[in-house]
Structure 1
Amino acid sequence: MIAILIKSTLCLFLLLGVYKLFLEKEKMSRFNRFYLLGSIVFSFVIPFLKFDFAIETFQNAIIPNAIQVVQGETITITNETSIWPALFWIFHGIITSLFLFRFGKNLFEIISKIRTNPKEKYQNAILVLIEEKILPHTFLNYIFINKSDFENRNIEDELYMHELTHVRQRHTLDVLFIEFLKTLFWFNPILIFYKKAIQLNHEFLADEKVVTSYNNVPFYQSLLLEKASWNSNFYLASNLNFLVTKKRLIMMTKTTSQSRALLKKLAVVPVLAGLIFISCSKNLYDAKTSQNKNAIVKKLEPINGNPNSKKLKESDIYTSIEVIPEFPGGMSAFGQYVLKEFKIPSELTQSGNVLASFVVETDGSLTNINIIRDLGHGTKEETLRILKNSPKWLPGQENGKLVRAAYNLPIRLKVEKK
């Protein structure tokens, strides 16, 4: 879990850095909105993606040297007797609950204001008329404005257009999405910067619509400067004043050529590709070895379907083979299987190694399972259980044929004292 969070945070940090350095100051706000939201989703999904990449190497490195008995990597299992993990999750749950309560409380307050104040239909939005002196701000398709200013027609058309853009482009959904993530991952400060970047980009989008609709930049800029000293405390709403008036004024007069924008967008591609390669590559293996594995998969069905096949003597057990048997996904995947399934007996008080031997059959099943060394207290029975219940392996191969292969597997049991 910690490894997943670290990998997600690193991706979030890197992608936000790319945005700040290359994208934020360019006038391509629609793309930037997609980029920011996509970066968040990408960063939380990428730790769960795994791909195999084939790498072509020298011929003498393609096939392992002949071995007598396949010796697997040692798998270490640690009993979790410490109370610290439990205390950590209890603490995390309490803090998360408090943030969820705060999130729900703010939603309830906004909904209450919508219900208890008069409303007016305005184009594709609903105006909520508030007695208190406030700046216009938006939540979903509701625009909150001062009742007196509305009745006295003291709200400029540009401000209406600004808020209507928030409604039409559904900016509130972006804010709700990032705010919900903040409640769950409250310990990750990078999400705060993402929220600020997303809301600033919303303002750029709304300003752009106002400028193109009314074509009077000086008047709109003076209007923003006039309202800049006002404050708003609606953290789930899209606000006219977002404390970034200077950046907004600069963006209104900025131009970005199509070629420059295209280059900026294309520059994102190698960054994403690099992250995928570094974060998602599970196994790096030789291309020809990969072809051998594919050949194994293809040959499994016809050999299993014909038990009387004379292509090889199935009674022979090989101890010297070209392509060694392997658990699907590699030994790291088998290690995860053992870590998940193996239950260290509570009576065991000392650490040590368990050594098992077995035969990987041509159909990938494990037979002739023998526990050569165990630590007593039920460790032998537990090792037998997980090996008997193991998913099928990729069988070994000799001269292009599937063979039965002997395999030794050491498992280290690490007992931690309370």
Structure 2
Amino acid sequence: MVTFLIKLSICWGFFALLYIALLRKETFFQANRLYLLGTLILGLFIAAVPGEKIPEPIYVASFTEIALPVFTVGMEQAEKAAAGLASWNWLELIYWAGFSLVMLRISWGLILLIRTLRAGRSERLSDGTRVIYTGKTAKPYSFYQWIFLPEQFSETSSSLILAHERAHVRGKHSVDVLLLEVLSAIFWFHPFIYWYKRSIRTVHEYLADAAASGQTDKKQYGLLLIGQSQMGSPAVFANHFYQSPLKQRLVMLTKKSSAPYRALKFGLLLPLSFLFVLLFRQAPAIAQAVEEANQIPAVGFENPESTPQFPGGKEALANYLNSHLKYPLAVHPGENTARVSVNFDVTKSGDVSNVKATVVNGLKNIESSIANIEKVFAAMPKWTPASKNGELMTVSTNLNLLLQVSNEKSSKTSSADPEFPGGNEAMGKFLMKNVKYPESAKKENAEGVVVVAFVVQEDGSLSDIQEATGRKDLHADLVKEAIRVVSIMPKWKPGVVDGKTVKTKFTLPIKFTLDNETAKDISDIDKMPEYPGGFNALVAFMGDNIKYPEAPKKANITGTVLVSFIVETDGKLSNFEALKSPHPDLSAEAIRVMKLMPAFSPGMKDGKAVRVKMTLPVKFAL
């Protein structure tokens, strides 16, 4: 909302400056009215539409650091520390109080107008306008098709006033006024809404004065304005005959009409406004491009601390695919399975994008289902995105599908795929420990994804290890390194079909990438440190001890605090550091609670306790 208001202020301010500099003193009243109304709405639209951004860098999902799961601190925990008005957002209270007062003023004005309408004597004019004679001393005004006219005016004055107010009715100025009143209630705190309100109402009076003064001498009409300008108080919704500012109206009344060539100013406004909108929308992308241009690239791996997760985990993902994928039913002799490699990105918001499915091997007619596979992936529910240093990041990832077709016309993903001992996380650690970026590839800035195909035998050993795609653009040393690492893997858990272990062909994509960070040394441990009682006990401890600090709560500040710490060999915690925090009080509270934690069971390496650096993301939410 703050960003929206800043953008709105810039837009309205720019359009107001153009009007003051080029149009305010011209007598093109109807064009000025359209400009003011148009830019009022255009500013809202521009502020609401997000600016263009350069696509953010895509990182490789892999396992590089040990990070505990995120624990969310919500209002349930915060209310243990404070209750009542302390938990209210005072800025929100002030806004709604101001909104309510403005709406009460508008409602009261409408009530008074309805009372006057019912109490007065009505007369219908030839154009359908109704004149309501109020029978009391007050200012004449109009609202939609009604003209409210006090009976104390002379016949000459009444005819001029009627001409003025009928111009308001014909121009449907009440529609403008009603729009302005609604926006002034929503943006009651914004100074530009009052500038627009005053400027548009002034233009209304210029239009009505021009129509009425054409029926008499302008001097006589001006004297009528001066003589009656002090009467009564105006109604909220109405267009008034004696609407301020009187001096400006008299100046415009006597001013010579603007020369036609001065209308060329409106031609200048169009390119200026278009250029402003273009620059305004491109500003984030321009700033990002400048920032990236100043960065000096270096060699290394860029990896998130946590990989993206499908909601509910791997089992839920398998169920989703089983229920949505449709496979071809035609079976080729000796072929009843197909392996499909699906590459896709999981964005910072958890959306799946850039889906590309490729047939690795198997059924020759599986290509007919590629479009369906890509569509199913693109329609997935939001994932939990990857993160690094407390910030969400877009990650490119890969998923291999083993599709099986039977003669009974049923199809499913294999429920017993081959598996690296310990699962994907263990395989990620194995690859991070053993993959070495070839120096020759570094020097040539060579990158790419090497898809390694191999057969998992019935006993779990790997054979027939080779690059699967046959791509000629891959650096030869990258291919050699990927094959080398796969060849030294331990035995896998073999695939199972109908309760029997079988040979299974498998593919493993290994992505080599160079970026702007050097490679990091990762703690090489056999057993991770653990909070006493496990993660559920950690959640309970956080819920009992953490308090939402008052300052960020009142300012409606939320976000994730990423705390780095070391589990010593005796299990005690030390070296607390907030790597990322939206507010100092939030990081202070997270560290305070972590210092209260009991000793962990320490990390182990070769049977010995070792110091292990860990990170804990703590999410504060209101």
Q: Structure 2 length as normaliser, TM-score?
A: 0.45
CA distance in 1, matches of 2:185, 2:59: 56
Q: What letter is aligned with 2:225?
A: L
Q: 1:91 to 1:171 in 2, by over 3 A?
A: same
Deviations 1:90-139 (A, max 9, x none): 44334322322221121121112101221111233111111221232111
Instruction: Give me the whole-angstrom Cα distance separating, in 1, the residues matched to 2:200 and 2:234.
Output: 17
Q: Is the 8 A contact 1:8 1:44 kept in 2?
A: yes
Is residue 143 of structure 1 aligned with residue 143 of structure 2?
Answer: no
Query: Given residue 230 of structure 1, which amino acid in structure 2 is its aligned partner?
Result: M
Residues 276 and 68 (structure 1 numbering): CA distance in 2 closer, same or farther, change over 3 Å? Answer: closer
- SS of alignment partner, residue 189 of structure 2: coil
Partner letter of residue 117 of structure 1?
Answer: G
> Percent identity over the alignment?
22
Structure richer in helix, relative to its length:
1
Match in the other structure for 2:138: 134
| Cα offset, 1:280, TM superposition | 6.1
Give the aligned partner of residue 109 of structure 2: 106
Separation in structure 1 between the aligned mates of residue 112 and residue 22 of structure 2, nearest angstrom: 38
CA distance in 1, matches of 2:40, 2:393: 45
Q: What SS class does the counterpart of residue 89 from structure 1 fall into?
A: helix
Q: Relative to 1, partners in 2 of residues 1:354 and 1:39: Cα closer, same or farther, differing over 3 Å?
A: closer
Gaps of 5+ in 1: 56-63, 287-303, 308-312, 319-324, 344-350, 373-395
Aligned to 2:248: 247
Q: Could you tell me how far apart the structure 2 residues matched to 1:217 and 1:362 are?
A: 84
Corresponding residue of 1:378: none
Q: How does 1:10-409 map to 2 (within 5 A)?
A: 10-50=10-50, 52=52, 69=60, 86-124=89-127, 125-149=129-153, 153=155, 155-211=157-213, 213-214=214-215, 216-252=217-253, 253-279=255-281, 283=285, 359-360=397-398
What code does the residue aligned with 1:100 have? M
Whether the 8 Å contact between 1:231 and 1:241 is mirrored in structure 2 is no
The DSSP-based 3-state class of the residue aligned with 1:155 is helix
Q: Is the 1:47–1:280 Cα contact (8 Å) retained in structure 2?
A: no
CA distance in 2, matches of 1:20, 1:355: 45
**Which amino acid in structure 2 is aligned with residue 221 of structure 1?**
G
**Aligned letter for 2:279?**
F
Task: Report how far residue 179 of structure 1 moved.
Answer: 0.9
How far the C-alpha of 1:267 sits from its partner, in A, is 2.5
In the alignment, residue 122 of structure 1 is paired with which amino acid? Answer: L
**CA separation in 2, counterparts of 1:167 and 1:250?**
24
Q: Cα deviations across residues 369-416 of structure 1 (Å, max 9, x unaligned)?
A: 9679xxxxxxxxxxxxxxxxxxxxxxx99999xx978599xx964445
Aligned length: 332
Give the Cα–Cα distance (whole angstroms) in 2 for the partners of residues 221 and 8 of structure 1. Answer: 38
TM-score (norm 1): 0.64
Unaligned runs of 5+ in 2: 63-69, 79-85, 290-324, 329-337, 353-381, 402-418, 427-448, 451-470, 474-507, 514-559, 563-616
2:119 is matched by which residue type in structure 1? Answer: T
How far has the Cα of 1:86 moved from its partner?
A: 4.0
Equivalents in 2 of 1:117, 1:407: separation in Å? 84
RMSD: 4.7
| Greater Rg by CA | 2
- 1:80 deviation in Å? 6.1
CA contact (8 A) 2:59 2:395 kept: no
CA contact (8 A) 1:119 1:127 kept: yes
